[in-house]
Structure 1
Amino acid sequence: MYMIETKNLTKSYADFTAVAGISLHIPKGAVYGFLGPNGAGKSTTMKMFLGLTAPTGGSFRIGGKQFPRDRMRILKETGSFIEAPAFYGNLTGEENLDIVRRILGLPKSAVSEALELVGLSAHRHRPARTYSLGMKQRLGLASALIGRPPILILDEPTNGLDPVGIHEIRTLIRSLPERFGCTVLVSSHLLSEIELMADRIGILNHGHLLFEGTLDELKFNAASQGFPTDNLEETFLALIESDNLQRGGAR
């Protein structure tokens, strides 16, 4: 069963197409890595899933529910982290999460659980304005995880973290399907980061889906095209460069 499935999903702005007819298949219980250079269309796709921008073509289903008919039901089952999360700087990390908890109608214990998951328990009483960038990223992740939603959509969740923090968040994301039975869609522009936590990947460039499948399938696909396969990051870059050359460098 696919937890997230799109059919020819498209988003155009006047004469610019940000997402060009992509068909994604994200299995239930998977960590799906969404890859592509900055500006490839990853964030736009995630915003469509969350109803933050409307598709101009195609369709998608999340958890068996059709957008836009079931938009509110989809949102209730989806935890998200999109771009730099915004918080009330004068409120503590705990108080910021408590607002989310009350909106979602969750028990008070959900706040402590979320803070514990992302390693912010010791800083729960500090005002959010005093948080470092990495701590704000963790708080954003806690906000997405609160209530243990069955679907998580995470856009570049390790941005701003130091190497130790990146390792901790990667390990956490990798563990989520087994611990909570959830499905995770996580974006990055670095294959080296995604290959350590994803079961399947989708590679996007200039709004087009270049590849979807497992990392082993990516290696096989790349080898058949004469691309390097010893280093997956080089494989990814070769795939992107080849696509750019075919497009003549134009978007």
Structure 2
Amino acid sequence: MDYIILTEQLTKKYKNFTSVSNVSLHIRKGSIYGFLGPNGAGKSTTMKMLLGLTPPTNGSFTIDGKHFPNDRLAILKEIGSFIESPSFYANLTGRENLDVIRRILGLPKQSVEDALELVGLTEFGDRLAKKYSLGMKQRLGLAGALLGRPPILILDEPTNGLDPSGIHEIRKLIKSLPNLYDCTVLISSHMLSEIELMADDIGILNHGRLLFEGSLDDLRQSALQSGLAADNLEDVFLSMVEKDNTARKQRAKL
């Protein structure tokens, strides 16, 4: 199996609190990997470790054959990211905001136009960012992640705050990306119905621990074998998390 992102026993501790505990991910090249978990499960922390924004306490990871921390800069050159709500210079246009990122990354000027076209913002490129709607700001954030067409995208809640039409647009775009330019997408979202429509593989995190990793079909089979609801991704997810929470409470009583 050709894995482009591999983590081994990845762990992040903050004093007495463990945010991520021994997480081993296997993300296939060219796939869309849905990274799921309740608030505070450790998804964003895991993504920040992969981006070198916070160092692991223990464990290691490899991205496209490059090892952290020795190859940190080489890793970053291969990743486009969208973490939490993107921030922009309000008094610059969308095109100018992307050009700032382009210069930092040392990319050709044409990459800005390519990114605007990919997210459907070409006609709004000269509008000031402060006059963008929330949906347009999310798309501009995605355009920033897509600059230079990186082989790996790490997207944290890219549909946050969007209306149904905006969510549909972003989902359609993300789903098209692996075929469009052979990239791999790691995406977290609370919109489980959306993840179900676009993800090839799923990782479920709860209290920093990986409860499941595999395809959607594997997830349904696993749920059925465990006697859990398996009608849709949301049912499976909620059942799995509730079962884990119940087991935790029982262990805490012992």
Q: TM-score range by the shorter chain?
A: over 0.9
Which position in structure 1 is the counterpart of 2:26? 25
Give the secondary structure class of the aligned counterpart of 1:248.
helix
Cα shift readout 1:92-132 (whole Å, capped 9, x = no counterpart): 10000001111122221111111111121221111111222
Between the two proteins, the alignment pairs up a number of residues equal to: 250
Distance of 2:81 and 2:145 partners within structure 1: 5
Match of 2:122? Answer: 121
- How big is the shift at 1:240? 0.7
Gaps of 5+ in 1: none
**Over 3 Å off, 4+ runs:** none
> Which has the higher mean CA deviation after the structures are superposed, 107-116 or 42-51?
107-116
Pick closer, same or farther for the CA change 1:247–1:190 going to 2, 3 Å. Answer: farther
Q: CA deviation at 1:162?
A: 1.3
Paired residue secondary structure (2:170): helix
What does residue 236 of structure 2 align with? 235
Deviations 1:9-55 (A, max 9, x none): 00000010000000000011111110111111100000001110010
- 1:212 and 2:220 equivalent? no
Please say which of residues 14-23 and 98-107 is displaced more in the overlay: 98-107
Per-residue CA shift, 1:160-219, capped at 9, x if unaligned?
211111111111111111110111100112321111111001000110000000000000
1:93 aligns with 2:94: yes
More displaced stretch, 151-160 vs 121-130: 121-130
Matched-pair contact (CA < 8 Å) for 1:61–1:67: yes
Which residue number corresponds to residue 139 of structure 1? 140
**Structure 1 position 248, deviation (Å):** 1.5
Shift of residue 231, structure 1, vs aligned partner: 2.5
Question: Aligned partners of 1:188 and 1:230: how far apart in 2?
Answer: 19
TM-score of the pair, normalised by structure 1: 0.97
Give the corresponding residue for 1:74: 75
CA distance in 2, matches of 1:194, 1:21: 24
Could you tell which deviates more after superposition, 188-197 or 48-57? Answer: 188-197
For the aligned residue pairs, the C-alpha RMSD in angstroms reads: 1.1
* Separation in 1, partners of 2:183, 2:168: 20
- Residue identity opposite 1:34 in structure 2: F
CA distance in 2, matches of 1:97, 1:192: 31
Supply the distance in 2 between the matched residues of 1:185 and 1:201 (Cα, whole angstroms): 10
**Percent of aligned positions with the same letter in both sequences?**
69
Q: Distance in 2 between matches of 1:160 and 1:145?
A: 20
- Which residue of structure 1 lines up, in the alignment, with residue 167 of structure 2? 166
Taking the aligned partners of 1:226 and 1:5, their CA distance within structure 2 comes to 30
Give the aligned partner of residue 245 of structure 2.
244
